């Protein structure tokens, strides 16, 4: 308990100050008690171009151990820290891998592992989303309007990053990551000319134009060079210029391929500024860098045109070319065939494969769920796996129980305190001892969290949630492989069955959606429009709207997610098997006592292994079946044989809905029935899985009738969620990949 901090809070004078001033002053006051430690010895460093941190106020006070006390002290002064909810999320990420990075930093500090993060401090984070006539409208996320009291600008540690055509000053902003250790997230801010400042203006520029691609390369190199420059300089000051012991003190984790240029920069710096031979620098790199793959989507595997990179980073391009020639010599010594060499090549003709560079140089390469790591070996890098099998690892993702249970669901946390004593908070394995037959209090907690969720949705979206309903949620980025469109069809199926009196004793159900579509992703925006049109139809139909409601919340972000995961009964995780690397929302729902209705994909497979198939609702083709189906699957055959499927699919073109002449719905219908030049019709097998999906949803509805039995299934999920704590993930990285130890 931080008594001095509490005393300061008691002495704080809030009188006559507006809420922004109160937020800033109280945060700054807490910051005085947070001192990042610079421990000697080996450390790991996380290089990520995204960190989806969410709000830091409550998180940091929880980590400081003063949240409850501070709340009381400040409320006596008329300061309701729940009003600080209006502070913008630090949304410096798109979703998956950015939020994972934030959970990993939280767990490393929470478990006293030496792990620091390097990233980019974007002026504008992920865009804010509103719906205008059911369509996504984007606006800039000016997240710094409330200031950023949780970061400290380090004027005296700024450094210059050189491009062929400009110099950029990288100014570090340090955000302390509070736990048993206090680690640091260092975000670099670009200063200098107008063009230099553009580098950190926006997260993930649309890279479908050369201009966008160039900016993307600049962002990735900016992060790489600032981080490497600093680590190298600090090392030389302490251990000299030979770099012989660099890999003894550093393990650098590449979060996807976005910071792979740090490998080339490391070699460039050592050879050019410190006279280290290329072979030696490459060898040190091979014992320093590790790579996490987060997706098997081919379009997400970054390849850069050699000439494009050479235009602004000639030395970096040259280093990649030299790595290629070293690698080819090594592969020839291993008697690799021409085809095998091509498959592993860093430079393939004019294309630079960042993933192949990461695999070749990385000491360890890991996937993010058991099934994904198998697919990484089998489908993504089969040749590299053949020649370097020991490189390949799995570390299944995890989520921090501090934000995703203790903070967002204090009522369930209190119930666990009562049943298990607070010891579970330091030892999640104790959740396994939960008596899941004793459900009365859990049912009351879930009802309370649904009530709070309903209030939040009413306040933020002006929609009143159906009372006493089963709450389903599908909240995640909008992407075809995540199959929000299949859920849309399933809802229409249920709607029509209700209207035709085919569903008796149907328990009232609410389907919650939250999703942002990438600004250039036409089809994803069409699916958002379609879901909003279905909501309008279903919610407006007096015959059914006491039984079925569809709600699409706007600007789904980390803070919204905290409310939804706590108040949901059924987590919808319905990606086509083999496409979702892991998923992490699935784990958040599980921990908060929701059953999963989903496919055997990503981490869902391990969730079912831990929580039991009997406590969840699994449906759909397996990875193996999807792979077998790829060549023979004919969606139009299903349409001709299954009138139910045809009926809902036809609503896209039969006038049931209008997309305001934008052409969204016709294009979606074509994507399912005709395909496109880059894919076959229904390339995510929606029609194959839809009937089983509807059956699963109806089964949920039936089972819900026995409240106690259903609650027991939900509690079984909470009881078996310990494995999915990011504390476990970090302990695995520390042991299997980083070789670092707790303080």
**Selected range binding ligand 26W among 169-177, 240-248, 294-302, 503-511, rule: CB under 6 A:** 294-302
294 contacts ligand 26W (rule: CB under 6 A)? yes
Calpha distance 701→685 (Å, rounded): 25
198 catalytic per annotation: no
Q: Transcribe 522-553 into DSSP letters.
A: HHHHHHHHHHHHHHHHHHT-TTTTTTEEEEEE
Instruction: Rounding to the nearest 10 degrees, give the CA dihedral for residues 49, 55, 58, 60.
Output: 30
Give the residue with the Cβ less far from ligand 26W, 601 or 716: 601
Among 583, 593, 598, 620, binds ligand 26W (CB under 6 A): 583
Q: Are 548 and 538 in contact (CB under 8 A)?
A: yes
How near is the Cβ of 226 to ligand 26W at its closest, in Å? Answer: 22
Which of 588, 688, 713, 728 is catalytic? The answer is: 588
Tokens 């939280």 correspond to: 106
Calpha distance 486→489 (Å, rounded): 5
588 catalytic per annotation: yes
Give residues 392-421 in contact with ligand 26W (rule: CB under 6 A). 397
480 contacts ligand 26W (rule: CB under 6 A)? no
**Selected range binding ligand 26W among 127-135, 224-232, 292-300, 400-408, rule: CB under 6 A:** 292-300
179 contacts ligand 26W (rule: CB under 6 A)? no
Give the residue with the Cβ less far from ligand 26W, 178 or 355: 355
256 membership: H or E segment, kind and range: none
599 contacts ligand 26W (rule: CB under 6 A)? no
Output DSSP code: residue 294: -
How near is the Cβ of 142 to ligand 26W at its closest, in Å? Answer: 23
Instruction: Enumerate residues 6+ apart whose C-beta is below 8 A from 91.
Output: 52, 54, 125, 126, 141, 143, 557, 558
584 contacts ligand 26W (rule: CB under 6 A)? yes
689 contacts ligand 26W (rule: CB under 6 A)? no
Which of 55, 121, 294, 377 is catalytic? The answer is: 294
Closest by CA to 436, choosing from 419, 414, 418, is: 419
Instruction: Enumerate residues 6+ apart whose C-beta is below 8 A from 337.
Output: none
367 contacts ligand 26W (rule: CB under 6 A)? no
Give buried/exposed letters for 319-328 (b at 16+ CB in 10 A, else e): bbebbbeebb
Calpha distance 463→486 (Å, rounded): 24
Which of 584, 596, 599, 651 is catalytic? The answer is: 584
Calpha distance 259→48 (Å, rounded): 7
Closest by CA to 136, choosing from 459, 531, 653, 672, is: 531
How near is the Cβ of 107 to ligand 26W at its closest, in Å? Answer: 14
Output DSSP code: residue 679: B
How near is the Cβ of 302 to ligand 26W at its closest, in Å? Answer: 8
Give the residue with the Cβ less far from ligand 26W, 52 or 538: 52
How near is the Cβ of 453 to ligand 26W at its closest, in Å? Answer: 23
520 contacts ligand 26W (rule: CB under 6 A)? no
Residue 342 structure tokens: 């091509």
The strand ranges marked E within 179-302 are 182-191, 250-255, 289-292
**Selected range binding ligand 26W among 40-48, 291-299, 412-420, 638-646, rule: CB under 6 A:** 291-299
**Selected range binding ligand 26W among 128-136, 328-336, 574-582, 702-710, rule: CB under 6 A:** 574-582
Instruction: Enumerate residues 6+ apart whose C-beta is below 8 A from 373.
Output: 366, 367, 392, 393, 394
477 contacts ligand 26W (rule: CB under 6 A)? yes
Calpha distance 128→189 (Å, rounded): 21
Q: Are 397 and 723 in contact (CB under 8 A)?
A: no
Calpha distance 672→668 (Å, rounded): 7
419 catalytic per annotation: no
582 contacts ligand 26W (rule: CB under 6 A)? yes
Q: Are 291 and 259 in contact (CB under 8 A)?
A: no
Which of 216, 372, 449, 482 is catalytic? The answer is: 482
Provide the pairing of β-strand 351-353 with 347-348. antiparallel
20 catalytic per annotation: no
Measured from each CB, the residue nearest to ligand 26W is: 96
Direct distance between the N- and C-terminal alpha carbons of the chain, in angstroms, rounded to an integer: 20
How near is the Cβ of 367 to ligand 26W at its closest, in Å? Answer: 9
Positive or negative torsion for Cα 497, 498, 500, 503:
positive
How near is the Cβ of 583 to ligand 26W at its closest, in Å? Answer: 5
688 catalytic per annotation: no
Give the residue with the Cβ less far from ligand 26W, 416 or 587: 587
How many residues does this entry show for the chain?
A: 743
Give the residue with the Cβ less far from ligand 26W, 582 or 714: 582
Judged by CB under 6 A, the number of residues near ligand 26W is: 19
482 catalytic per annotation: yes
Calpha distance 434→719 (Å, rounded): 6
Instruction: Enumerate residues 6+ apart whose C-beta is below 8 A from 118.
Output: 45, 46, 47, 48, 186, 187, 188, 223, 226, 227, 259
**Selected range binding ligand 26W among 158-166, 293-301, 433-441, 525-533, rule: CB under 6 A:** 293-301
Among 268, 449, 479, 683, binds ligand 26W (CB under 6 A): 479
Among 164, 300, 444, 709, binds ligand 26W (CB under 6 A): 300
User: x/- contact string, 55-74, with ligand 26W (CB under 6 A)?
Assistant: --------------------
134 contacts ligand 26W (rule: CB under 6 A)? no
696 contacts ligand 26W (rule: CB under 6 A)? no
Residue 51 structure tokens: 């960190």
**Selected range binding ligand 26W among 38-46, 446-454, 580-588, 723-731, rule: CB under 6 A:** 580-588
How near is the Cβ of 292 to ligand 26W at its closest, in Å? Answer: 7
Give the residue with the Cβ less far from ligand 26W, 267 or 485: 485
Give the residue with the Cβ less far from ligand 26W, 509 or 725: 725
Calpha distance 329→491 (Å, rounded): 57
**Alpha-carbon separation of residue 257 from 378, 399, 521, 594, 667 (angstroms):** 19, 22, 22, 33, 32
Give the residue with the Cβ less far from ligand 26W, 264 or 376: 376
Give the residue with the Cβ less far from ligand 26W, 255 or 701: 255
Q: What are phi and psi of 277, to 5 degrees?
A: -70, 155
Give the residue with the Cβ less far from ligand 26W, 100 or 649: 100
Give the residue with the Cβ less far from ligand 26W, 103 or 270: 103
**Selected range binding ligand 26W among 80-88, 460-468, 532-540, 576-584, rule: CB under 6 A:** 576-584
Q: Are 90 and 594 in contact (CB under 8 A)?
A: no
Give residues 93-132 in contact with ligand 26W (rule: CB under 6 A). 94, 96-97, 100
Closest by CA to 106, choosing from 152, 56, 147, is: 56
Which of 402, 476, 713, 720 is catalytic? The answer is: 476
136 contacts ligand 26W (rule: CB under 6 A)? no
Residue positions annotated with a catalytic role:
294, 476-477, 482, 584, 588
In the complex, the residues that contact ligand 26W under the rule CB under 6 A are 94, 96-97, 100, 256, 294-295, 297, 300, 368, 397, 477, 479, 580-584, 602
């Amino acid at each position: 308990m931080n008594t001095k901090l509490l005393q300061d809070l008691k002495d704080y004078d809030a009188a006559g100050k507006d809420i922004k001033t109160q937020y800033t002053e109280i945060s700054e006051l807490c910051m005085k008690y947070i001192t990042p430690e610079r421990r000697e010895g080996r450390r790991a460093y996380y290089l990520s171009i995204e960190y989806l941190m969410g709000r830091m106020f409550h998180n940091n006070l929880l980590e400081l151990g003063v949240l409850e006390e501070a709340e009381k002290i400040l409320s006596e002064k008329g300061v309701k820290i729940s009003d600080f909810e209006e502070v913008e999320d630090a949304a410096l990420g798109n979703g998956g891998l950015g939020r994972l990075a934030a959970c990993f930093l939280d767990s490393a500090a929470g478990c006293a592992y030496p792990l620091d993060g390097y990233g980019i401090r974007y002026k504008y984070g992920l865009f804010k989303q509103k719906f205008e006539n059911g369509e996504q409208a984007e606006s800039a996320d000016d997240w710094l309007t409330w200031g950023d009291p949780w970061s400290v600008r380090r004027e005296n540690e700024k450094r210059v990053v050189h491009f062929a055509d400009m110099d950029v000053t990288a100014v570090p902003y340090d955000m302390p990551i509070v736990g048993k250790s206090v680690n640091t997230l260092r975000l670099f801010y670009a200063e200098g000319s107008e063009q230099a400042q553009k580098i950190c203006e926006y997260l993930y520029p649309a890279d479908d134009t050369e201009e966008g691609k160039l900016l993307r390369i600049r962002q990735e190199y900016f992060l790489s060079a600032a981080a490497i420059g600093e680590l190298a300089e600090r090392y030389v000051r302490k251990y000299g210029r030979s770099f012989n012991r660099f890999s003894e003190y550093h393990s650098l984790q590449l979060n996807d391929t976005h910071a792979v240029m740090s490998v080339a920069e490391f070699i460039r710096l050592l050879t050019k500024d410190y006279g280290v031979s290329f072979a030696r620098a490459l060898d040190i790199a091979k014992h320093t860098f590790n790579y996490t793959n987060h997706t098997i989507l081919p379009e997400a595997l970054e390849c850069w045109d050699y000439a494009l990179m050479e235009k602004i980073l000639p030395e970096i391009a040259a280093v990649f070319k030299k790595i290629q020639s070293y690698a080819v010599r090594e592969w020839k010594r291993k008697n690799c065939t021409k085809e095998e060499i091509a498959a592993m090549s860093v430079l393939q003709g004019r294309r630079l494969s960042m993933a192949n560079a990461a695999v070749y140089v990385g000491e360890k390469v890991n996937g993010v769920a058991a099934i994904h790591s198998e697919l990484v070996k089998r489908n993504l890098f089969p040749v590299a796996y053949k020649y370097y099998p020991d490189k390949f690892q799995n570390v299944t993702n995890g989520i921090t129980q501090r934000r995703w249970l203790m903070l967002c669901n204090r009522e369930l946390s209190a119930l666990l305190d009562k049943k298990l004593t607070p010891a579970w908070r330091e030892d999640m394995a104790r959740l396994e001892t939960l008596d899941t037959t004793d459900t009365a209090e859990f049912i009351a907690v879930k009802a309370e969290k649904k009530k709070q969720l309903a209030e939040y949705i009413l306040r933020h979206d002006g929609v009143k949630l159906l009372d006493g309903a089963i709450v389903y949620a599908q909240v995640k980025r909008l992407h075809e492989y995540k199959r929000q469109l299949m859920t849309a069809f399933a809802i229409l199926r249920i709607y029509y069955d209700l209207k035709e009196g085919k569903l008796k004793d149907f328990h009232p159900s609410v389907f919650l959606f939250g999703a942002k579509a990438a600004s250039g992703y036409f089809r994803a925006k069409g699916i958002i429009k379609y879901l909003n049109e279905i909501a309008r139809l279903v919610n407006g139909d007096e015959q059914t709207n006491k039984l079925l409601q569809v709600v699409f919340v706007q600007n789904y972000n980390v803070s919204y997610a905290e409310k939804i995961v706590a108040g949901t009964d059924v987590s919808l995780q319905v990606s086509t098997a083999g496409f979702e690397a892991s998923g992490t929302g699935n784990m958040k729902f599980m921990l908060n006592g929701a059953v999963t209705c989903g496919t055997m994909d990503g981490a869902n497979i391990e969730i079912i292994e831990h929580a039991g198939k009997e406590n969840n609702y699994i449906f759909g083709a397996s990875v193996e079946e999807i792979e077998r189906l790829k060549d023979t699957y004919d969606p139009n055959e299903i349409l001709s044989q299954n009138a139910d499927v045809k009926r809902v699919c036809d609503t896209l073109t039969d006038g049931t809905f209008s997309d305001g002449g934008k052409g969204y719905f016709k294009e979606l219908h074509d994507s399912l029935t005709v395909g496109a030049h880059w894919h076959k019709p229904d390339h995510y097998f929606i029609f194959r899985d839809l009937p089983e999906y509807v059956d699963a949803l109806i089964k949920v509805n039936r089972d819900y009738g026995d409240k106690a039995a259903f609650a027991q299934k939900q509690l079984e999920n909470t009881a078996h969620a310990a494995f999915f704590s990011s504390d476990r993930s970090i302990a695995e990285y520390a042991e299997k990949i980083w070789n670092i130890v707790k303080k």
